Amino acid sequence: MNTIAIIRNSATKSSRRVLIGSSTTSSSLASPHPKCHRTLLTTANHFRIGSAKNFLYLPFSSLFHFRINSWQLGLVIKPDEDFSSIARVAYSLSVRNFSTSVENRVNNTNFERIYVQGGVNLKPHVVERVDEEEKSVPTIEKNSEGFVSVSVVEKARVEDSEAEREAWRLLKGAVVSYCGNPVGTVAANDPGDKTPLNYDQVFIRDFVPSALAFLLGGESEIVKNFLLHTLQLQSWEKTVDCYSPGQGLMPASFKVRTVALDGDNLEEVLDPDFGESAIGRVAPVDSGLWWIILLRAYGKLTGDYSLQERVDVQTGLKMILNLCLTDGFDMFPSLLVTDGSCMIDRRMGIHGHPLEIQALFYSALRCSREMLAANEGSSNLIRAINNRLSALSFHIREYYWVDMKKINEIYRYKTEEYSMDATNKFNIYPEQIPLWLMDWIPEEGGYLIGNLQPAHMDFRFFTLGNLWSIVSSLGTPRQNEAILNLIEAKWDDLGSHMPLKICYPALDNEEWRIITGSDPKNTPWSYHNGGSWPTLLWQFTLACIKMGRIELAKKAVALAEKRLPIDLWPEYYDTRTGKFIGKQSRLYQTWTISGFLTSKMLLKKPEMASMLFWEEDYELLEICVCALNKSGRRKCSRGAARSQILV
C-alpha cells in the first residue's frame, strides 16, 4: 500500500521551565516538547509546498515521502515499487541527508512520524520535529498538464541570523510549565540576577509578543494554555485592605508555585497578582484588554475559532467588557484610570485618560465585536460596544490630535467659554503649550497627545499609544500616516541608537520631582521617563507594514539586531539617544527577545500582519446616539467635524 509520512522539523530544540516553590528562585526541568498539530492544505487539483523554481516534473499520481517543518516545507521522495524514475529526480536535485525510506530511521529518537494511508488527497497530520541541519529542500507543484514540478529552495531556518537563533533559544528557555504544560514565559531569565523581585513571573502584557512569536512560528499550545489559565484566575478572590475590585479584572501576572500536601505529596498551583502585591498597589487595567487582543490573534493566526466560542471564554470576555463599560460620573467615552495602570506602571503623571489605555480599549472593543456570540443574551452588550466605539473614535480623533495647524489653533484659544458651542471645550490655557513642542513638531507630521482632561493636555509623545492607534485604526488614515512621518522626521529623538523611546521628552528638574515624586528609577531619560524600549519594535513593525512603510521598520529592526545580542537583551536603554544599557535594566528580558523575533517574522511574512491589525470601519463613524438633533437644543458636533474625521 502506498504510504505518505509527514514530519515536522525544527532547527532548535525547545525546553520548558517550571517555577518551583521559592518566591525568588526558579528551577528548570527538561520535558518533551508538546505535540503541535498543524494542517497542510491539499486538494485533488492542487498540491503545492513552498515556492517554485528549477522545475522537474513528476506525474501527480506518484506517491512521495515528504518532510515538513514549521518554517519551511520540503520533499523527500519515497519509492514503493517503481524506483527508477523517482530516484533519478532525487539524485538530480542532489538532495542530501534525505532518507528514501522510513525504516532506516526507526531507532532515531529525533524522529516520530504518522503514516497516512491512501494518497495525497487525505488531510495529513503534522508530527514531531527533526533536529538536523539541512541546507536545502525541494518543493513540488502540480501544473496544468497534471504533472508535479519539483524545485529546490533554501530552508527558512537556515536563513535566520545568528541573533534570531539565539533569540529563539532564549525564548524557549524562558517558558514556564504548569502541570506539565507550557503556560507562558517569565518576564526575565537573567541567570546572574539574584533578586528577581517579580521578574520571575508570567505577565499578561509581557507575554503578548512571546505569544505572537510562537503563533507566527506555528506553536499554538502555549498560547491556548495561557489564555485558558489566566481566564480561570479571573474569578479568583482579590482584595486590598478588605476591598475587592470589580468582577472581570485580570491579573497583572502569575507565578507557578509548588505547595506541600499531606505527607510527601506536592502540588503545583498558580499564584496570581491582581495588584495587591505590586509596587504602588495599582490594578492592571491593560491586562484584560491585552487578553482580549491576544484571544482574537490566536483565532486569526491558527484558524481555531473554537476557543473563543467556548462558554467559559465568552463569559470571561463579557465580564471584562462589563467592567470597562460600567457607567460612572465621567462625561467622556475614554476610560478613566489611575496612574501606573498600564505598561508605565509607576507614577508618571498619566492618570486620567492616557492614550495607551484608550488605544487598547478601542482595540479590545473591536476584537469583542468580532468574537462575541450574537444572541439574545449579548444583544445589549454588542449595542453598547458599537456606541462606545463610535463615540471613542470621534473623541480621540477630534480632541487628542495635534499637528502644526492644531497647535496654532490652541495657541489662539479663548478661555472661560460658557457655551454649548464653545471652541475650547476643555478650557485649555494656551500657556500650557510647552516651548519644546513649538520647535519640535514637523511641518508634515502630527501625533495623538498623551492625555486630555479639563484644563489639561499632556503634550508628551507616548509611543505605544500612537502605534496602537495606527494598528487599531483609532486614528484616521491621514493621522496614521502623519504619526509615522513624525517618527521618521524625529528619528534622532525617538530612535537614535536604540528604538524606541517610550515617551518624549523626559520629565526633568522640578517637573520630575513633582510628577514622579522624585522616583529614583524614573530619572530623566531612564526607564519610563524617556527610556528606550526594544520591545516596542513589534508594534512599530506592525504599524509600518499596515501603512506601507516597511523600509522604516527594517531600519529600526536592523539597528536593534546589531546591539541586542551584544548587550544581552536588556529591558531598556538610558540617555537621550539610548546609548547606554539602563542602570536598573534586567538582562535577558523576554519581551525584548520576543519583540525582536516577532518583528523579524512579520518582516519575512508581511502578509501575516493583516491578521493583527484593523482597517477603518466607516460604519462605526455613522453611529450617533446623542439624540441632540431630536431634542432641538443644538446640532450634534459630529456633523461639523465629519469631513475631517473621515479622512
**What is the pLDDT confidence band of residue 537, given thresholds at 50, 70 and 90?**
very high
Confirm whether 55 is domain-assigned: no
pLDDT at 428 over 60: yes
Confirm whether 402 is domain-assigned: yes
Residue 245's pLDDT is 75
Give pLDDT tens digits for 170-219: 999 999 999 999 999 999 999 888 888 899 999 999 999 999 999 999 99
Average pLDDT, the chain: 79
Is 402:447 a contact under the CB 8 Å cutoff?
Answer: yes
**In the chain, % of residues over pLDDT 90:** 62
SS3 content of the chain, % helix, strand, coil (to 5): 40, 15, 50
Residue 568's pLDDT is 98
**What is the pLDDT confidence band of residue 635, given thresholds at 50, 70 and 90?**
low
User: Which of 66, 43, 44 has its CA nearest to residue 139?
Assistant: 66
> What are the phi and psi torsion angles at 221 (to 5°)?
-60, -45
How far is the first Cα of the chain from the last one, in angstroms, to the nearest whole number? 62
> What are the phi and psi torsion angles at 629 (to 5°)?
-65, -35
Q: What is the DSSP letter of 103?
A: G
User: Which residue range forms the structural domain that includes residue 376?
Assistant: 284-640
User: Which of 310, 307, 287, 311 has its CA nearest to residue 296?
Assistant: 307
Q: Are strands 175-178 and 114-117 parallel, antiparallel or unpaired?
A: unpaired
Confirm whether 221 is domain-assigned: no
Confirm whether 266 is domain-assigned: no
Domain count, the chain: 1
Q: What is the mean pLDDT of residues 131-142?
A: 42
Q: 427: buried, middle or exposed (CB in 10 Å: 19+, 13-18, 0-12)?
A: middle
C-alpha dist (Å) from residue 486 to 411, 432, 441, 481, 573: 21, 21, 8, 9, 22
Give pLDDT tens digits for 473-492: 999 999 999 999 999 999 99
C-alpha dist (Å) from residue 163 to 160, 469, 568, 617: 8, 30, 11, 39
Is 564:592 a contact under the CB 8 Å cutoff?
Answer: yes
Residue 275's pLDDT is 82
SS3 184: strand
63-77, 446-460, 563-577: segment of lowest average pLDDT = 63-77
Is 102:65 a contact under the CB 8 Å cutoff?
Answer: yes
Q: What is the mean pLDDT of residues 135-162?
A: 50
User: Which of 96, 92, 37 has its CA nearest to residue 68?
Assistant: 37
Confirm whether 489 is domain-assigned: yes
CATH number at 458 reads 1.50.10
Tell which wins on pLDDT, 53 or 630. Answer: 630
Confirm whether 463 is domain-assigned: yes
Give pLDDT tens digits for 1-17: 443 333 333 333 333 33
pLDDT at 127 over 80: no
Tell which wins on pLDDT, 114 or 247. Answer: 247
21-35, 411-425, 449-463, 618-632: segment of lowest average pLDDT = 21-35
> What are the phi and psi torsion angles at 101 (to 5°)?
-150, 160
Q: What is the pTM of this model?
A: 0.76
User: Which of 22, 152, 180 has its CA nearest to residue 96?
Assistant: 152
pLDDT at 33 over 80: no
Confirm whether 404 is domain-assigned: yes
The answer for residues whose C-beta is within 8 angstroms of residue 381's C-beta and 6 or more apart is 318, 321, 322, 325, 372
> What are the phi and psi torsion angles at 94 (to 5°)?
55, 50
**What is the pLDDT confidence band of residue 255, given thresholds at 50, 70 and 90?**
very high
Residue 636's pLDDT is 60
Give pLDDT tens digits for 505-520: 999 999 999 999 999 9
Give pLDDT tens digits for 308-358: 999 999 999 999 999 999 988 888 999 999 999 999 999 999 999 999 999
Q: How many residues does the chain have?
A: 647
| Cell numbers placing 642 | 465629519
Confirm whether 341 is domain-assigned: yes
pLDDT at 155 over 70: no
Is 63:86 a contact under the CB 8 Å cutoff?
Answer: no
What residue type is 604 in one-letter code? K
